[in-house]
Structure formats: C-alpha cells, structure tokens
Chain A
Amino acid sequence: MHPILKPAFAPRPTRRGFLTGSAGLVLGLHIVGKARAQSAATADGDFAPNAFIRIAPDNTVTVLVKHIEIGQGANTGLPLLVAEELDADWSQMRAEQAPSDPVVYVNTAFGVQGTGGSTGLSNSYMTMRQAGAAARAMLVSAAADRWGVLPEGITVSKGVVSHADSGNSATFGDLADAAALTPVPVDVALKDPKDFTLIGGDKVTRLDGHAKSTGQAMFTIDVFRDDMEVVSVVHPPKFGATVASFNAATALARPGVTAVRELSSGVAIYADDTYSAFKARADLDIEWDESGAETRSTDAIIEEFTAAARAPAMVAEQTGDVDAALAGADRTIEADYVFPYLAHAALEPMDGVIELRDDGAEIWSGIQIPTIAEPVIAGTLGIDPATLTVNTMYTGGSFGRRSTPVSHFEKELAEVAAKAGPGAYKLLWTREDDMTGGYYRPLTVHHLRAGLDAAGNITGWLNTIANQSIVAGTPFEPMVMPEGMDPTAIEGSRDMAYDWPANRVSWAQMKNPVPVLWWRSVGHTHTAYATETFLDQALLAGGKDTVQGRLDLLKSDRPRDRAVLERVAEMANWSGPGTGDRRMGVALHRSFGSYVAQIAEVEDRGGLPHVTRVWCAVDCGVAVTPDVVRAQMEGGIGYGLGTTLFDEITMAEGGLVQQRNYDSYRMLALPEMPQIEVSIIASSESPTGVGEPGTPPIAPAVSNAWRALTGAMPYRLPYRANSV
C-alpha cells in the first residue's frame, strides 16, 4: 500500500485494545505526549506501562506489535526500538501481535490501523522509542523509591537496573510490580543516536525465527476451533460473472459435506474437513451469469491499452515544451512497454477463521487494514462492531494481497458465517482460487519517446501510461485521487532523479472488471522498468556510459540517488557492461522514501538470463535492523527476478485465466537465485521503507545487462512471454 494514503476514518472510541489478557507493566505511548498514558498492574502481576509494552515478573518484555508480520520483520524491528530506549537485553524481548484498535495502534502514515506502503518501521520509529523510554523511566523511578536513592544515580544496561554508589541492582522483572504504581512520565528524553546499542547493530536474531524454523509459528491456516467446519468457495470462472443457479445434490451426498450455500461471491461448500470441502468442488453443477463478465483475452486488452498509451491522456507532470523538443530533436527513440497482470502468489492462500457467537464474533486472519475491514465484517454479520474481535495471525506472505481496501475476502468470510448461523468456520481458498481470483498487479502499457540533440543529450521525454486504477472504487478514492488522478498508477514515472529540458508524463485510466491491487512496490514495478531501461537506451544512443551518463543527469537536489549509484558502481567495479559471456546492467530507483541502485550480472542460459550476481546499494535513512534491511533487499530482488523471468496472468479469448497453480505461474527456485551483496548507506535521516524498494530496480538492471549481452531489449515482460 502507498504511504500517501491518509483517509480520514473516524476512530472508534473503544479502549478494548488496552491491557488484553496481560499482566506486570503495560504502557501505550503515543499517549505520553498528551499526558493521558495509562499504566496498570495486570491480573498476572505484569507491569504494563502502556499499550505497547508488558514487563512480566519472569523478566520478559513483550512488545505488542501494531503491524502484521508478513515476513518483513515488524515483530523484530518494533521490539528493537523499544529495547533500545528501555536498555533491555535482546534475549528478554518477545513480540506479540497487537489487537485491533484504530486509535492506540494507528499507523500514523495512514490514519488507520494498517500495514503497507513500507511504512511499518518509519511510522513507529518515534512512538516505539518513546514507549520504551517511558517504561525505562518508570522502572528507574521504582528502583529509586525502593533503594531510597536519587534516580540520577541509576543506570540501566542489558535489562539490569543498577545503582553503583549503593551497590543495588535489580532486573526489570524484580521491579515490574513497583513500576506499575509509579506515575507515567509526561515527557521523556530519547537517546542521542550516538548512544544506540541495538539500533543499527549487527545483528539481532529475529524474534519469530525459532517458531518459524520449528513448525510452531501459528498461521491462520493452523487455527482450529471446536466443531469448526471448513469452507471452500467456488468462484465465477470469469471476472464480473455471478451465480445464476446451481445444483448441489451430488456435493451434498458426499461424505463429510454438511451444507452448500450461495454467497454473493460464489457457491460455498461446508464440510467436516478440508479434503471433503475441496473434493466436493467438482461435484457442484453451477450455471454462471456472464452478462457482465470480461470475456476478452489479455491480448485484446493489451491492444486497447497500447492504443490509449499512444493517444493524449491526463497530464500528470509537465516541464518545458516536450512537443517542441521532440519535433526539433536530432534523433528520437520510442518504445511501447507491456507489463502483464501479476498474481501475488503468496504461499499461504487467502484464509480466515470466523466464530459467530450469540454475543458477537471473533476472527483469526491476516488482515492488513483492520480498520477498514471491521465495519465490512460487522455490517455483513449485522452485529455491533464493538462485539467483533480480530486476532492477527502470522501470515504466509502478502506482497500486497492481504491489504485489500475493498475487503472482499473479509466480506466473504463474514458471509460464510452469516449464512450458516452461529458456529466456527475456516474459509480456505485453494491455490487455484488464489491464482485465478484477481486482485492482480494492473496490466500496464507505457509509451515512451525521447529526443536527443546532436551531442546525444536528452532534450525531451514523454511517457504515457495506460492501466487501471487500484484506488478507484475503494474507500481511499476520495482522499487519494480527488482530481481523478491515481498517483499509484504512475508513481516512479514523475519527479524523476534526472534533469532534461522538457518532460511530460500522462495517464490513461483504463476500466474493466478484472480486480487490481497493489503488488510489492505497486506502480514502481512497471515505472522503474520502463524508465530505467528506456534511459539506458537513450544514453547508449547518445554514446554514453550508463552509469556516468546517469550521474551526469542527476538533479543537484538528489544527492542520495547519487550516493547509492556511486556506491553500487564501486561495489561492482563498474567500467561498463563488460565483455564476454557475462554482462552487467545498472538501475536506480527511489520508492517509499528509500533509494536503491542495483547492478546485475547475467549470462545466457537457454535463451533466458541467468543472473549470477547482484550488487545492491540502499539508503533507507537510519537502518534500525541492518540484517532485516539486507534480507528485504535480497528477498525483494528474488521476488522481482522470478516475476521478470517467468510470470504473467493471461486470459484466453472468452476470459478464462490460464494460470492456475505454480506449475504455470512459477516461482524463482533456489538454483536461480543470484549471489547478492548489499551495502547500506550510513545515514542519520529518519528511517524509510525497505519491504518494497528492493524490488523495482532488479528487472531493469537485468534487462540492461541482457541488452548488453544479446543486443535485444525485452519490451514485454516476462521474458518467457518473448521467448515462447
């Protein structure tokens, strides 16, 4: 999701999120500044100085993490911020998913509780440090009272509170009960960054690492409730189709099947177990109403989008007179780029568990924007939202898929219960449901033209982008696109790092029934590729080196772009793309506030690039957990690379999706993973995103290398689409 999204949702005035089932010191810290902090000794005797921290008598410090853990490291990064200011020992830290509460657990970048846009760490940076500092002050105050000394003489280090002059010392656990009785400080001083002992250190062990290496981590799919039924929904095979009628007799006769019910999204099979539910899908005889369905092939859609990209469209950015620049150019180059629909293909398919009771409902799922989903769920169930409890589980990947602002999955889950009545239900999509179910990265066409003068300098740049809006039709629309322009459709194509006399970026909004969604790095997935490969071509046409040529074009106010580009060139010993069987290509792209430059080295393996090495330089401000930053760069590169090589969702004539599972939509495999070297630029700027920014540069870097090797630039992704 995108950081600029700040919808004005009215927060629910509940304090239900506080102190749930907790014990010792519990603190909720954004509140500190407003002097409304609550502290409590909880039932189990824990110290709970605020809504983010619990310190138990057993000396564990549990941080309630307001963001979902989808692999990006929220359950490590946020506890680390607390531990830093608390001066805790890393081994005593624990992470727990915070309950749902749009006030206490707000994402300050969005104004709702939600995870996305690579904002998790950045929007928590001050809040969680303040939470830790306040808890530390209360522990010190409790120790001072107990020992009859002044707090100024007390030090805290690695989870031990000490007073050197009196020789006293105590653990957090020893002090938890007493600390809970001390006043919550109104204002707390944060550490000078030079005194950090954990932030920026190498390295901390992920708090979820052990559970995830031993099969103990609990994902949504692992939730079982008493007498729970498993539900599988057969969805329309074409986007925009609906159920006309169905015959469930055969399915109902199958052992284990308990009911078949029509939902607004399809036909639901209720069964005793997963196997019975999945197996009965083939027994259903369903007539679909396809009158509103998309029946065109993706080839036909590409044709439509390409025509739109070549025509005048809504202007998103304009400097200079690009028409005159192109008309007066010594030479012009142009290209149409085609990017397919893409499935997120997270390994855990969409799933959720719901228990509907007489007094309310409880959900276990991986919902990325609970503040938006909860009213949809409550409305569908016809219950008071205050009686709805949402438990956020570990989630087997998302890459944007679980951040669905129209809440279609949550609505389906609620309907499963609403139609059946009180009871417990696990809704589990099959891999095929997940792959063919839409909410794809939008199919996108870029039309690019550039003019060069006689010296080979770029004089004009025109980029027209045709795709569907992700934001239109969602609750974010009024805030994000008040003038009809969806910034996420074109992000990365304007406000570029480079300077040339004339520039125009335009957007043609396309409409069809295929649902689209943010997909790891959103608009940058296509804009980085189109702009960075086209720029490479323009530089080569002008006889320039592709690294030096970029450096020469960088605007004076983009020093951070310059730093990562210079760093990556140094790492790869860049002196041009090289010669022989392996060639190098470079790409530079800023997204989600972070700056990333990559150089890829490729060889030809059977007509496809095999990427041997990738060098990656990143500036994400303060790198709170450098090992997580590296991991996200590595993962972002692997995720982008597999997609670049192999993946597209296509529809045949008639509108059926042709990819149904990992056999036809294939993931990068371990032998295809390059060696990756990541360098993090030292910075004192506020932290910015890392979950997404590693992805955009890899595809253009690979293609710039591939062009150096083969002379061919792929204008249509994935590579496999060009070769077969």
Chain B
Amino acid sequence: MAVNLTVNGKDVTLDVDPDMPLLWALRDHLRLTGTKYGCGIAQCGACTVMLDGQTRRSCVTPVGTLDGAKVETIEAIESEAAKAVQAAWVDINVPQCGYCQSGQVVTAAALLDVNPKPTDAEIDNAMAGNVCRCATYTRIRQAIRQASDTLEA
C-alpha cells in the first residue's frame, strides 16, 4: 500500500510495509540520514522529527499512519528558532560524539518555535526525553538560553 506524504516540503510516495517505522523509511528509502536510530522504542529521542508541527519519535511511528502527513527532518528545519538553535549549538560547542544532536536540535527548535522564552523548568521538561550519552546537557541548556536571547533581540 503506497502512502503519500510530504517530507521536507517535497511530495513523497512510500511504497513500503505499512508497519515500517518512519525512521527506517526516512533513512533507508529516502536517504535522509540525519535522523538517527538509538533504541527503536521511543526511549532516547535520537529519531525525533517534526510531524504536522509536533515533535514525534519516528522509530515508533508506522508509515501506514502517515497518509497526507507533513514531515520535517533535521535536514530541512529552517525556522528562525531552528537557525538560532543551530548557531548557538555551534558557538557553544554543544556536540561531542554528535549522534543524538539531530534529535536534540529538532526538539530545542520546536520548543523555541512555540515558546521563545522558556524558563529553566520548561527547558528541562521539553528536553527530558532526549538522551545524550556524552552528557552534553549543561551546554544544551546554555545553548537554548542563548538561542532564546538571539530570538528576543
């Protein structure tokens, strides 16, 4: 059964097993490799994408549920908040191994998209589901605050 959806602004038809998680469709079939596999059970956040304007764990999202959906991945996020987040990430040297950072950046950008001036508690809440094994968390917090300041200016 072919599923029609929009990925990063392009119309895409996915003719795959409807149970296939979006993660593997993005990576293996569309070759959008910025979105990462970490756990496969929505426990780490490395696979986070935007689905119809909300963050979503693509590793547990079957392609069969996505007819007509709009998906955005790390390769294409380009809101003002996303750009501010990515600039702050680079400036503050957030990434270490970098494997989780696509998910972190997507989640942080989604937070600032709707809440440009989050409190520390709101940052903690929004980011709690994105694991970083290198524990770059202090810099993630700092970068989100810096991006927030940029947006405000």
Is B115 an interface residue when CB atoms closer than 8 A count as contact? no
CB of A208 within 8 A of CB of B98, answer: yes
Q: How far is the CA of A347 from the CA of B140 in the complex (A)?
A: 17
**What 1/0 flags go to B33-48 for Cβ under 8 Å of A?**
1111111110110100
Known contacts: A396-B97, A662-B39, A673-B138. The answer to whether A347 contacts B133 by CB under 8 A is: yes
B96 touches A213 (CB 8 A): no
List CB contacts (< 8 Å) of A656-678 with chain B: 661-663, 667-671, 673, 675-676
B69 within 8 A of A: no
B17 at the interface (CB under 8 A from A): yes
Q: How far is the CA of A396 from the CA of B34 in the complex (A)?
A: 12
Known: A224-B31, A396-B36. Contact between A631 and B93, CB under 8 A? yes
* Interface contact B90-A209, CB-CB below 8 Å: yes
List, in ascending order, chain B residues with CB within 8 A of A395's CB.
97
CB pair B135–A431 under 8 Å, yes or no, is: no
Residues in chain B near residue A70, CB distance under 8 A: 97
Q: Which residues of B contact A203 (CB under 8 A)?
A: 93
- Residue contact A394 to B128, C-beta cutoff 8 Å: no
CB pair B24 A275 closer than 8 Å? yes
Which of B86, B98, B124, B125 makes the CB contact (< 8 A) with A71? B98
Chain A residue numbers with a CB within 8 Å of B123 are 670
Q: Are B102 and A675 in contact (CB under 8 A)?
A: no
Known pairs A346-B133, A634-B138; A73 contacts B96 (CB<8 A): yes
Cα of A213 to Cα of B74 in the assembled complex, Å? 9
Q: What chain A residues lie within 8 Å of B66 (beta carbons)?
A: none
A638 at the interface (CB under 8 A from B): yes
A334-392 CB contacts (< 8 Å) to partner B: 345-349
| Residues 1-38 of B contacting A (Cβ, < 8 Å) | 16-17, 19-21, 24, 27-29, 31, 33-38
B110 contacts the other chain (Cβ, under 8 Å)? no
Decide: A430 near B44, CB < 8 A? Known: A669-B128, A669-B131, A671-B128. Answer: no
Give Cα distance in the complex from A676 to B135, angstroms.
12
Contact indicator B93/A397 (Cβ below 8 Å): no
Interface of B is mostly: loop
Q: 8 Å CB contacts to B: which residues of A234-251? A: none
Q: Which residue of A lies closest to B37 (CB)?
A: A221
Min CB gap A663→B, angstroms? 5
Known: A213-B89, A224-B31, A639-B134. A670 touches B124 (CB 8 A): yes
| Interface contact A213-B95, CB-CB below 8 Å | yes
A631 to B137, CA, bound (A): 10
What residue of chain A has the Cβ atom nearest to residue B25's Cβ?
Answer: A275
Whether A667 contacts B41 by the Cβ 8 Å rule is no
Taking a contact as CB atoms under 8 Å apart, the answer to whether A212 and B98 are in contact is yes
For B93, the chain A residues whose CB sits under 8 A away are: 203, 205-206, 209, 627-628, 631
Contact between chains at B139 and A215 (CB < 8 Å): no
> How many angstroms between the C-alpha atoms of A255 and B24 in the bound complex?
16
Residue-wise interface mask of B (76-112) relative to A, using a CB-CB cutoff of 8 A (1 in contact, 0 not): 0000000000100111011111111110010000000
Partner of A397, one of B39, B99, B124, B129: B99
Instruction: Return the contact of B36 from the options A221, A631, A673 (Cβ within 8 A).
Output: A221
Contact: A347 with B138, CB < 8 Å? no
Whether B149 is near chain A, meaning CB under 8 Å from some CB there, is: no
| A5 smallest CB distance to B (angstroms) | 23
CA distance A211 to B21 in the complex (A): 25
Given A72-B96, A212-B98, A214-B86, also A639-B74 (CB < 8 A)? no
Q: Which residue of B lies closest to A639 (CB)?
A: B135
Interface pair B96/A71, CB less than 8 Å apart: yes
Q: In A124-183, which residues have CB < 8 Å from any B CB?
A: none
Closest chain A residue, CB of each to CB of B75: A215
| Chain B residue, CB-CB nearest to A221 | B37
Are A347 and B97 neighbours in the complex by a CB distance under 8 Å?
Answer: yes
| A303-345 residues at the B interface, CB under 8 angstroms | 345
Query: B134 — which chain A residues lie within 8 A by C-beta?
Result: 71, 397, 635, 638-639
Please tell me if A289 contacts chain B, counting CB pairs below 8 Å: no
The closest CB in chain A to the CB of B34 belongs to A215
- Chain B residues, CB < 8 A from A637: 135
Note all chain B residues with C-beta closer than 8 A to A215: 33-35, 73-75, 102, 105
Contact A638 B94 (CB under 8 A): no
Contact indicator B44/A347 (Cβ below 8 Å): yes
Q: A217 interface residue, CB < 8 Å from B?
A: yes
Complex CA distance for A669 and B28, rounded to whole angstroms: 29
Do A670 and B127 have beta carbons less than 8 Å apart? Answer: yes
Q: Mark A419-450, 1 if CB is under 8 A from B, else 0.
A: 00000000010110000000000000000000
A676 and B138 form a contact (CB under 8 A): yes
Q: Is B136 an interface residue (CB 8 A)?
A: yes
Contact with B along A110-133 (1 / 0, CB 8 A): 000000000000000000000000
With contact pairs A213-B95, A230-B28, A275-B20 given, residues A430 and B130 touching in the complex (Cβ less than 8 Å): no
Tell whether, in the assembled complex, residue A274 and residue B135 are in contact, meaning their CB atoms are under 8 Å apart: no
Kindly state whether residue B117 has any CB partner on chain A within 8 Å.
no
Closest B residue, CB atoms, query A625: B93
When C-beta atoms are compared, the residue in chain B nearest to A640 turns out to be B135
Q: Which of A187-224 contact B (CB under 8 A)?
A: 203, 205-206, 208-219, 221-222, 224
Contact A212 B36 (CB under 8 A): no
Known A208-B98, A210-B90; contact A662-B44, beta-carbon cutoff 8 A: yes
- The 8 A CB mask of A248-281 against B (1 = contact, 0 = none) is 0000000110000000000000000111101100
**Inter-subunit contact B95/A208 (CB<8 Å):** yes
Residues of B near A638 (CB, < 8 A) are 132, 134-138
| Contact call B139/A634, Cβ cutoff below 8 A | yes
Question: Considering the chains assembled together, what is the distance between the CA atoms of A673 and B125 in angstroms?
Answer: 13
Question: Is A642 an interface residue, CB under 8 A from the partner?
Answer: yes
Chain A positions 600 through 635: 1 when the CB is less than 8 Å from some CB of chain B, otherwise 0: 000000000000000000000000000110010011
Set B37, B38, B89, B131: member contacting A209, Cβ < 8 A? B89
Q: How far is the CB of A493 from chain B (nearest CB, A)?
A: 26
B96 touches A635 (CB 8 A): yes
- Pick 5 A–B contacts, CB within 8 A, sort by A: A71-B97, A206-B93, A216-B34, A396-B100, A661-B40
Q: How far is the CA of A637 from the CA of B128 in the complex (A)?
A: 18
B141 within 8 A of A: yes
Instruction: Indicate if the CB atoms of A348 and B99 lie closer than 8 Å.
Output: yes
Contacts of A274 in B (CB 8 A): 24, 27-28, 37
A529 to B28 alpha-carbon distance, docked (Å): 44
Partner of A273, one of B29, B40, B41, B75: B29
- Residues on A with beta carbons closer than 8 Å to the beta carbon of B102: 215
Q: Are A217 and B98 in contact (CB under 8 A)?
A: yes
B133 in complex: contacting residue of A256, A397, A641, CB < 8 Å: A397
Cα–Cα, bound, A177→B27 (Å): 41
Which residue, of A255, A628, A661, has the highest number of chain B Cβ atoms within 10 A? A661
Contact across chains for A673 and B135 when beta carbons are under 8 A apart: yes
Complex Cα spacing A374 to B24, Å: 30
Instruction: State the Cβ distance, A105 to closest chain B Cβ, in Å.
Output: 21
Residue of B nearest to A346 (CB): B133
How far apart are the CA atoms of A704 and B131 in the complex, in Å?
A: 27
- Interface-central residue, A214, A222, A274, A398, by most chain B CB under 10 Å: A214
Residue of A71, A210, A218, A222 contacting most chain B CB atoms (<10 Å): A71
B43 touching A209 by the CB < 8 A rule?
A: no
Instruction: Give bound CA distance, A221 to B33, whole Å.
Output: 8
Query: Which residues of the other chain, B, contact A631 by a CB distance below 8 angstroms?
Result: 93, 96, 136, 139
